[in-house]
Amino acid sequence: MSALTIRPATIDDTPVILRFVRELAVYENAGHEVLATTEHVHHTLFCAVPKVFGLICEEGETAVGFAVYFFNYSTWQGRHGLYLEDLYVAPEHRGKGAGMALLKHLARIAVDNDCGRFEWSVLDWNAPSIALYESLGAKPQSEWIRYRLTGAELQALATAP
């Protein structure tokens, strides 16, 4: 087995990022919800001043997983936080430490950037991921309920008088 390496995603990684995004969505029973295109990835991850960042985990020359993250802000802490939007390891490469390597790398980015928090969401049925996160000492934030506006409802609020 080759050593795992993690590096910042580049524009040349766009096809693998989109493949991993689609595979993750299928795993989460939401494949039909993926709207991202090559143009979206270029416009967001690889623009002049990106607000979201990607990592690629490789074993040798093979991309085995990825993570996408961004910095948020806590007014209570007066510090930035790191929010992990997606972390995915291809099924045939699981069990080799890629997920843990990505989490450790992200934790280092958070510490290096003086972040007060490292946060993410997980589906309530994803028992393997929940067990991993809790083994690290991560705590679920059960007192908070996440809300989302999309599509017509988002447009309606944005254009409301």
147: left (phi over 0), alpha (psi -120 to 50) or beta: beta
pTM: 0.93
Band the pLDDT of 28: cuts 50, 70, 90: very high
DSSP 2: P
- Show the tokens assigned to 17: 């990022």
Residue 56 has pLDDT above 70, yes or no: yes
Which residues participate in catalysis according to the annotation?
Answer: 133
What domains, with CATH codes, occur in the chain? 4-159 (3.40.630.30)
Work out the pLDDT band at 1, boundaries 50, 70, 90. Answer: low
Q: What is the pLDDT of residues 123-152, one digit of tens each?
A: 999 999 999 999 999 999 989 888 999 999
Q: Please name the residue that has the structure tokens 């309606």.
A: 156
Label the pairing between strands 4-8 and 53-59: antiparallel
What are the residues whose beta carbons fall under 8 Å from the beta carbon of 119, sequence distance 6 or more? 72, 81, 82, 83, 84, 141
